[in-house]
């Protein structure tokens, strides 16, 4: 496995980590550890344990059992708390900080963390949606804007990026990640860390990133949130670990342990994950926080008898901070007194927390976050326009039988539960987003086409515990449709249907909305489905009955203008899927990079007889990874392998010609896929290894040259080594994972 740092042995680093294979550090990081060591000489054991505790105020967002009730202010004064989460405003942040600085014995500042997942005030598309832009620079900039708005709110630390690869759209938190591919997921994870942390972590407009959920949370069995994860170490290293590594290499200073067990041990007490892999092998030197109450929940997992056992297990695993559970402060002193935990271990855990606080500049100025003028930081016009742009780039045109784009004088029947739903369009984990600042589909379409040309009715309701046709809703919808030239039908799943603890066994559009679609279909009017969702869905019914389907996702504050831009033709759709849309939920998990088998699927190798195929449905998804349409057409040709033979350590170069053969300018995502023909362990039928987002004028042609270092062709071998091999490879290029242009190359020793 690729290491982040070169291990060296020095007295300083031995002191800092308590590990014989201590990693190299930057000078700034080493200085933070030295300062932490100096401070710790003044600290009592209880004060050290206090730095390992994270509390929540009564105003905070609760995402699990609330645990032990605490007198928060007394705990701060006594040095029994090191962090708070879900403190969303500057006033509360500074009030709590003031108590810590002025009323506790040593004046150690608090670190304030929040779930800033896809925006703070300005909410960007949910992460899965944003990944469909394939625009790495834009994703990084969205994190930069979120950091600036968060810092102005008194927030120091975000629990993001989520690096969990997931191939299961039933999973409730699939909306928080970058989809099914580890290569693209790694690019996005690193970009988000750079956006949050910038070049100077102590700057007052940057915040600390947190790599989560470590590890393999996205592979929860049956798509049920918090459920068991059971996979081989080989699969984990090969498919799930790369995005975490990329985020760490980008400099993320904290990590969050996941709720699930891994190889039979819950992640928060899993020493192999948190110490052997994360620290010794990957060289991580920051601190690890548990997910909500995850330390105490090891009792329910059945690996700890009580809170004291759970605290011991987590500490020995090298988990630094207990989120809201309270077991560290409750039992830490007893564990040391009984000899079950050494005070040296507590020192190591505390030191790593303090070092991050020093690196954030909290000791120099504990109020630096929130010192900015909030009116200047929030909702900047240029940032709102950027949110509009990235929302448009995230939307994916799945079908278009010529109905889109609409002429400027088109009379529109705008129908459905999400056409004027300012809260739902923000999606899950909407930070400090304010629904009243959302610009809805209805508002934007009325502005773009004229209020007199947009006839609106809700017709259905969909949300928490609500899924119904409103009284007279279908009758009113049909009436408006008959008066219009085209129907824009905004259906799908609400913002409530995404996010933690929102797993779904069914992936179809709710029945009342399908009933609405059936009634509108009978009018004979052209129908454009605007699909609001935070996950891939089975939309065979909608694709069959609609004339066009635009996947709008939950696209955030500026979702409305982005939709108006696309349906009017002011913007040419350019999004490409980063998660396969299943033909049926029975296929799930379905993903493009499945492994080949001894008896492969008929549609892969034209095998006959006994094949790995369904007898009642197709093997292929409804829409594959990488898929996306445009109002123009792109033609791929002339694939050339420029390096038919390359040495290990070299770079594979492949070119392909891309031409816009349509009548208008547009963006496309050129994608390169590779297959290792003969490997030491079984390999996927193809894997994404490069891509380029490009803009072409009508008739313009460009040669795209991909460069793939042979190190990017490394994979996990049976001995758990991670390396590339010599041998033969197949390469494909095109606009999605079904690309047909093909070439070959060879890697030699």
Per the CB < 8 A criterion, the answer to whether 313 and 297 are in contact is: no
Adjacency order of strands within the sheet including 701-709 = 634-641, 651-660, 701-709
Q: Both ends of the chain: CA-CA distance in Å?
A: 19
Nearest one of 545, 515, 513 to 532, comparing CA atoms: 513
Q: Which of 92, 261, 291, 327 is an active site residue? A: 291
Per the CB < 8 A criterion, the answer to whether 81 and 113 are in contact is: no
Rounded to an integer, what distance in angstroms lies between the CA atom of residue 721 and that of residue 191? 27
Name every residue whose Cβ is closer than 8 Å to that of residue 490 and which is 6 or more positions away in sequence. Answer: 414, 415, 416, 417, 418, 419, 421, 441, 530, 532, 552
Rounded to an integer, what distance in angstroms lies between the CA atom of residue 588 and that of residue 183? 21
CB-CB neighbours of 67 under 10 Å: 18
Per the CB < 8 A criterion, the answer to whether 421 and 497 are in contact is: no
To the query of whether residue 291 is one of the catalytic residues in this protein, the response is yes
Following CA atoms 89, 91, 92, 93 in sequence, which dihedral angle do they give, to the nearest 10 degrees? 80
CA distance to 214, 467, 566, per residue, from 552 (Å): 30, 20, 10
Rounded to an integer, what distance in angstroms lies between the CA atom of residue 470 and that of residue 486? 22
Rounded to an integer, what distance in angstroms lies between the CA atom of residue 86 and that of residue 62? 8
Residue 276 DSSP one-character state: I
In b/e form, how buried is each residue of 292-326, taking b as 16+ CB within 10 angstroms? bbbbbbbeebebbeebbbbbbbbbbbbbbbbbbbb
Rounded to an integer, what distance in angstroms lies between the CA atom of residue 557 and that of residue 388? 8
| Rg over CA atoms, the chain | 26
Name every residue whose Cβ is closer than 8 Å to that of residue 21 and which is 6 or more positions away in sequence. Answer: 7, 9, 280
List residues bridging with 708 in a β-sheet. Answer: 652
Catalytic residues: 291
């Amino acid at each position: 496995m690729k290491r982040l740092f070169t291990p060296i042995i020095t007295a300083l680093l031995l002191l800092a980590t308590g590990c014989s294979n201590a990693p190299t550090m930057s000078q700034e990081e080493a200085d933070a550890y030295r300062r932490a060591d100096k401070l710790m000489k003044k600290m009592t054991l209880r004060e050290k344990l206090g730095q390992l505790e994270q509390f929540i105020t009564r105003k905070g967002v609760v995402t699990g059992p609330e645990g032990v009730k605490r007198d928060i202010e007394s705990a701060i004064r006594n040095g029994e708390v090191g962090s708070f989460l879900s403190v969303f405003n500057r006033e509360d942040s500074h009030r709590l900080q003031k108590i810590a600085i002025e009323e506790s014995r040593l004046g150690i500042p608090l670190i304030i963390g929040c779930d800033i997942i896809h925006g703070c005030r300005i909410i960007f598309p949910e992460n899965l949606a944003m990944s469909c832009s394939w625009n790495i620079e834009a994703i990084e900039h969205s994190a930069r804007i979120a950091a600036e708005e968060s810092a102005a709110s008194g927030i120091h630390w975000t629990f993001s990026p989520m690096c969990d690869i997931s191939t299961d759209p039933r999973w409730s938190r699939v909306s928080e990640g970058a989809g099914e591919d580890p290569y693209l997921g790694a690019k996005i994870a690193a970009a988000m860390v750079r956006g949050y942390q910038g070049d100077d972590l102590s700057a007052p407009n940057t915040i600390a990133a947190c790599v989560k959920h470590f590890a393999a949370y996205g592979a929860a069995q049956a798509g049920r949130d918090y459920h068991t994860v059971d996979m081989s170490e080989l699969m984990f290293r090969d498919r799930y670990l790369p995005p975490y590594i990329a985020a760490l290499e980008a400099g993320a200073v904290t990590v969050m342990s996941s709720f699930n067990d891994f190889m039979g041990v819950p992640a928060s007490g899993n020493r192999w994950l948190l110490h052997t892999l994360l620290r010794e092998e990957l060289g991580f030197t920051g601190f690890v926080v548990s997910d909500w109450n995850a330390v105490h929940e090891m009792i329910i997992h059945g690996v700890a008898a009580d809170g004291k056992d759970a605290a011991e297990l987590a500490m020995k695993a090298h988990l630094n901070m207990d989120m809201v559970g309270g077991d560290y402060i409750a039992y830490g002193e007893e564990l040391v007194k009984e000899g079950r935990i050494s005070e040296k271990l507590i020192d190591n855990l505390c030191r790593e927390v303090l070092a991050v606080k020093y690196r954030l500049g909290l000791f120099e100025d504990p109020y630096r976050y929130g010192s900015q003028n909030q009116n200047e930081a929030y909702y900047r016009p240029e940032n709102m326009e950027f949110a509009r742009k990235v929302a448009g780039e995230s939307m994916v045109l799945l079908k278009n039988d010529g109905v889109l784009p609409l002429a400027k004088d088109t009379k529109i029947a705008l129908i459905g539960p999400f056409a004027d739903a300012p809260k739902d369009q923000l999606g899950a984990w909407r930070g400090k987003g304010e629904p009243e600042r959302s610009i809805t589909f209805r508002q934007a379409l009325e502005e773009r086409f004229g209020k007199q040309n947009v006839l609106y009715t809700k017709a259905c309701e969909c949300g928490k515990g609500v899924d119904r046709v409103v009284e007279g809703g279908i009758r009113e919808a049909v009436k408006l449709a008959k008066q219009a030239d085209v129907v824009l039908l905004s259906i799908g799943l609400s913002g409530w249907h995404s996010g933690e603890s929102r797993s779904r066994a069914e992936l179809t559009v709710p029945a009342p909305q399908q009933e609405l679609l059936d009634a509108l279909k009978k009018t004979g009017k052209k129908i454009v489905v605007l699909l609001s969702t935070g996950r891939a869905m089975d939309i065979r019914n909608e694709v069959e009955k609609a004339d066009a389907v635009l996947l709008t996702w939950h696209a955030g504050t500026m979702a409305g203008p982005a939709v108006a831009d696309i349906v009017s033709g002011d913007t040419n759709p350019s999004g490409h899927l980063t998660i396969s849309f299943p033909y049926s939920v029975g296929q799930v998990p379905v993903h493009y990079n499945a492994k080949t088998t001894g008896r492969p699927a008929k549609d892969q190798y034209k095998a006959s007889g006994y094949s790995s195929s369904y007898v009642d449905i197709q093997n292929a998804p409804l829409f594959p990874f990488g898929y996306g349409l445009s109002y123009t057409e792109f033609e791929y040709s002339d694939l050339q392998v420029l390096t038919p033979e390359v040495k290990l350590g070299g770079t594979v170069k492949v070119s392909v010609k891309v031409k816009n053969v349509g009548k208008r300018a547009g963006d496309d995502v050129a994608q390169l896929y590779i297959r290792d023909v003969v490997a030491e362990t079984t390999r996927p039928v193809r894997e994404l290894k490069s891509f380029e987002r490009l803009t072409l004028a009508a008739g313009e042609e460009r040669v795209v040259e991909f460069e793939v270092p042979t190190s990017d062709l490394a994979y996990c071998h049976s001995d758990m080594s991670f390396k590339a091999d010599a041998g033969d490879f197949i390469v494909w290029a095109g606009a999605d994972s079904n690309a047909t242009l093909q070439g070959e190359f060879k890697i030699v020793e």
